[in-house]
Structure 1
Amino acid sequence: MHRLETILFTNGERFPLLVNKKTELPDFYSTLWVTLELRYSAVNTIRNKLVTLQWLMEWENNNHLIISDLVKNEKLLTESELESLFRHMQINAAKQKKTNYVKKRFVTKGRTQFIDSYPSVSLSHKYNRLTTLSDYILFLSKSIKISDGYRKNLMEIISLIKAHRPKNHKVPLIKSESELPDGLLDEFMSIANFSNPNNPFRDIGIRKRNHLMFILLKELGIRRGELLSIKMDCIDIATARPSILLKRTHDEKYDTRRNQAVAKTKERRLPISNHIAQLIDDYIMNYRSKISYANKHPYLFVTHRKGKTLGHPISVSSFDNVIVPTMKKVNQKFSIIHPHIFRHEWNLEFSRKIDKNNAGLNHNISHKDYISPEKEAKMRQHLMGHISEKSAHIYNQRYIREKANKILLEIQKDFQEKVNNYE
């Protein structure tokens, strides 16, 4: 089997690759693929493609087949092998490890049959897996010397793989965990406050740091990667209008994290309140400045815990697997909270603020302060850092449903009043 590693070059480039656990050598063809065709893609994109190849290699191991060897020997997958591969590509690997498969009963032509059933990935995930599989086989066809006749047959296999991709994979699924009960996030933020006695962290420096991180997530609606990639030279707190510049820091050589926290969205400068500016100043001057190694790099948030990473930029793993879970353990109600939920909640509050602004103007569209739907979309696009206005649609779904449900209840109320008056 193979494990996924990321090599950090001296120029800051992150190079993901699959390493054979037995030989400790990089897998040849997947590494060649990354080198020749994927190298200038986003690191997370490359990692996601290699995770798919890891899953493919598990299927190869179970079926005693290697796709690259088949191509070398100009052999094609049989129909049954393809069906097996398609089933494998829709299995949810994470859930499969946690739950055993179940036997599902089917009746065909009067006969009862049982087949193994595993948890499935989402349609979009399945689409991406099959796309990666077809791209990888296409790469093999170009990298390995094969006859024209076999190449033609291989192209038909690739077309068949693409044809098995879900057609409606782009339909967004609104998960229940993306909707928090009103007030729950405020309760979470109250616990995260450095002065709250129920805050699960003991060290005051860690409390101050974590409180500031959650404040920025909630008040700015930024992504976790943007939060952890904030640099001190991009913070302007010594002016009447304090702000933070969110920059793309891909392949930054001063960042010691192999799995680098980076901004996924466009660069933009966001204004911050004087209160947030004071929290940042307090953290930098009274806590961060006293930690060794922290002065060796420009990243705002650093590790406070003693060890080899003391003073280094906080890793995505530490934030996801230590800081957030520790906060969630305080109360079972917090179990549905995750870093990206702050972005969803910010968008909900933004929509409410727009409505409140327009309601205060009696929805007078000619007023200079009235915010039209078009203007709102442009504002949201800038603040979120989206390339397209369409990117914000998924974040606005909850508010649309909230408004629709409110109108529906008003319709029902009006109808009931008419019935009562008639009676």
Structure 2
Amino acid sequence: MNYTLKTFVARDGERFSQLYEANASGFPLFYPTAFIARSIRPSTTHETQKVYLAAIKRVCEWETSRYIDLAKRFHSRKFLSAAEIDDLTNCLRASKLTSKASVISNAKYNTYVVYAAGYIRWLTHEVITDSNTHEVRDAVEAQNTMLLEKKKRKVGSKAAREQRIVSLSLPNETRSRLLDLFDQPFEGVRQAQNFGHRLRNILMLRVLYETGMRFGELLSLKLKHLIEASGIDSAYLDIERNHHDEFDARLHQPVAKTQGRRVPISENLEEQLINYRDNWRAEVPHVGFSEETFIFIVHRGGRSQGQALPKTAFSTGLTNLKQMFGALKPLHPHLLRHDWNYRFSKHADREGMSFEEERTLREQLMGWVPGSHMSTRYNRRHIEEKSHVIGRKIASDTARILQ
């Protein structure tokens, strides 16, 4: 039996998903729906709920393929054997994309194991009426422990992995090509109908480059969030926490994961955004002009023309840019966030900022809470780079003394 995940938007803008039998109409699966509604939905984002349901979907597929009904098994106080747990985790590990790797990544697999174990543990307590007895409680915990022990251990040190992440930045060739496109956004465009969405795509990349905001935050920018320069104040963009936005009609709503904040932008970007808003965007049929409508919209004809841009549409546009400009191949939205932090560290050096000042400013501009682990990561890398420079100088002094 096949299962499918369906997503809905409530009247108040909340997104929620449910698991259904693929070829059956009517109600969602009872136990997965109850688990999400009572245990997961009140304290997690919709994106996290979808990952839970993806793991539970694999559990349900395993049940069907092995002719097992977990609810009935647990009600009869029959728990999973070691062999069944091995088999289940192998199904959690298998890749659904046959054209690529035969298994999913360790990180994704570990998440599935934890979420599947949480659901199965909940299910046992749900269907066993006296689950608090000593015997049953011990059996449930033993089953849960066996499942969690199937997680894959990470190879290499945590510090080394973090170092690789925070050291990411744009290759010089990619940066040069990108800066050229910021100045000449229509380069290589031949057909008139392609000018509007080309400008939109380049502006979106420029916003990411100048501010380091997350991709979801970029897609959530509304007309009211562009604050033009006035007097001595430069232009800036407002980033708001926007979970369950009732004005966002996108089924899979992009959301801001970090704190709300204001981020400054350059004069050139401000001019380009105003030009896009007042000319190119304004000419698109069905577009909205209220403060709650989104800056970046669908330009091409169709039912979604004039509406907020979905993630997939920008991904397609970025792929087309990479095909046209080979130097952009390493580019992806989150790399621009890493690169912003790399440039910020360099600027902090030139300004002679203290460690504390650098951390505080970075946290504010990135939307991290004070004392954020991510901020500490980037500052640690900065300290290591400076220590290497000083270390080389000391080594050179020693060489001269020996001579």
* TM-score bucket (shorter structure): 0.7 to 0.9
What is residue 357 of structure 1 aligned with on the other side? Answer: 351
What is residue 266 of structure 1 aligned with on the other side? Answer: 259
Q: How does 1:279-318 map to 2 (within 5 A)?
A: 279-295=272-288, 297-318=292-313
Paired-residue identity, %: 24
**Structure 2 CA distance for aligned equivalents of residues 69 and 404 of structure 1:** 62
Instruction: Tell whether 2:179 aligns with 1:197.
Output: no
**Structure 2 CA distance for aligned equivalents of residues 79 and 54 of structure 1:** 21
**Structure 2 CA distance for aligned equivalents of residues 398 and 184 of structure 1:** 23
Q: How does 1:16-415 map to 2 (within 5 A)?
A: 16-25=17-26, 26-40=28-42, 41-91=44-94, 93=95, 97-99=98-100, 118-122=102-106, 124-148=107-131, 149-165=135-151, 171=158, 172=161, 174=164, 178-191=168-181, 193-198=183-188, 203-240=194-231, 241=233, 242-295=235-288, 297-320=292-315, 322-358=316-352, 371-387=353-369, 388-395=371-378, 399=382, 403=386
**Structure 1 CA distance for aligned equivalents of residues 379 and 5 of structure 2:** 36
What is residue 366 of structure 1 aligned with on the other side? Answer: none
- Normalised to the residue count of structure 2, the TM-score between the two structures is 0.85
Report the Cα offset of residue 155 of structure 1. Answer: 2.5
**Structure 2 CA distance for aligned equivalents of residues 331 and 276 of structure 1:** 22
**Structure 1 CA distance for aligned equivalents of residues 48 and 71 of structure 2:** 22
Task: Sort the Cα spacing of 1:200 and 1:182 in 2 relative to 1 into closer, same or farther, 3 A.
Answer: farther
What is residue 104 of structure 1 aligned with on the other side? Answer: none
Q: Secondary structure of 2:346's partner?
A: helix
What is residue 362 of structure 1 aligned with on the other side? Answer: none
Unaligned runs of 5+ in 1: 101-117, 359-370
Give the letter aligned to residue 6 of structure 2. Answer: E
Report the Cα offset of residue 380 of structure 1. Answer: 0.5
Q: Secondary structure of 1:294's partner?
A: coil
**Structure 2 CA distance for aligned equivalents of residues 23 and 389 of structure 1:** 47
Q: Secondary structure of 1:288's partner?
A: helix
Contact kept? 1:247, 1:268, Cα under 8 Å:
yes
Give the letter aligned to residue 155 of structure 1. Answer: E
Give the letter aligned to residue 390 of structure 1. Answer: H
Report the Cα offset of residue 139 of structure 1. Answer: 2.0
1:273-310 Cα deviation digits (max 9, x unpaired): 22222122111111222223321652111111100000
Task: Sort the Cα spacing of 1:201 and 1:44 in 2 relative to 1 into closer, same or farther, 3 A.
Answer: farther
Task: Sort the Cα spacing of 1:137 and 1:418 in 2 relative to 1 into closer, same or farther, 3 A.
Answer: same
**Structure 2 CA distance for aligned equivalents of residues 329 and 397 of structure 1:** 36
Task: Sort the Cα spacing of 1:353 and 1:183 in 2 relative to 1 into closer, same or farther, 3 A.
Answer: farther
Contact kept? 1:194, 1:208, Cα under 8 Å:
no
**Structure 2 CA distance for aligned equivalents of residues 260 and 308 of structure 1:** 18
Task: Sort the Cα spacing of 1:251 and 1:160 in 2 relative to 1 into closer, same or farther, 3 A.
Answer: same
Aligned residues: 387
1:359-410 Cα deviation digits (max 9, x unpaired): xxxxxxxxxxxx2101111111110001242123455576566556656665
The farther-off stretch of 197-206 and 225-234 is 197-206
Contact kept? 1:200, 1:326, Cα under 8 Å:
no
Give the letter aligned to residue 125 of structure 2. Answer: K
1:206-248 Cα deviation digits (max 9, x unpaired): 1221221111100000000000101111221052322211001
Report the Cα offset of residue 168 of structure 1. Answer: 5.8
Report the Cα offset of residue 185 of structure 1. Answer: 2.5
**Structure 2 CA distance for aligned equivalents of residues 73 and 189 of structure 1:** 66
Contact kept? 1:12, 1:253, Cα under 8 Å:
yes
RMSD: 2.9
Task: Sort the Cα spacing of 1:168 and 1:69 in 2 relative to 1 into closer, same or farther, 3 A.
Answer: same
Q: Secondary structure of 2:274's partner?
A: helix
Give the letter aligned to residue 43 of structure 1. Answer: H
Contact kept? 1:194, 1:211, Cα under 8 Å:
no
Contact kept? 2:225, 2:238, Cα under 8 Å:
yes
Give the letter aligned to residue 156 of structure 1. Answer: A
**Structure 2 CA distance for aligned equivalents of residues 98 and 400 of structure 1:** 43
**Structure 1 CA distance for aligned equivalents of residues 317 and 381 of structure 2:** 27
Contact kept? 1:230, 1:299, Cα under 8 Å:
yes
**Structure 2 CA distance for aligned equivalents of residues 6 and 303 of structure 1:** 21
**Structure 2 CA distance for aligned equivalents of residues 264 and 343 of structure 1:** 13
The farther-off stretch of 186-195 and 298-307 is 186-195
Report the Cα offset of residue 163 of structure 1. Answer: 3.9
Task: Sort the Cα spacing of 1:401 and 1:316 in 2 relative to 1 into closer, same or farther, 3 A.
Answer: farther
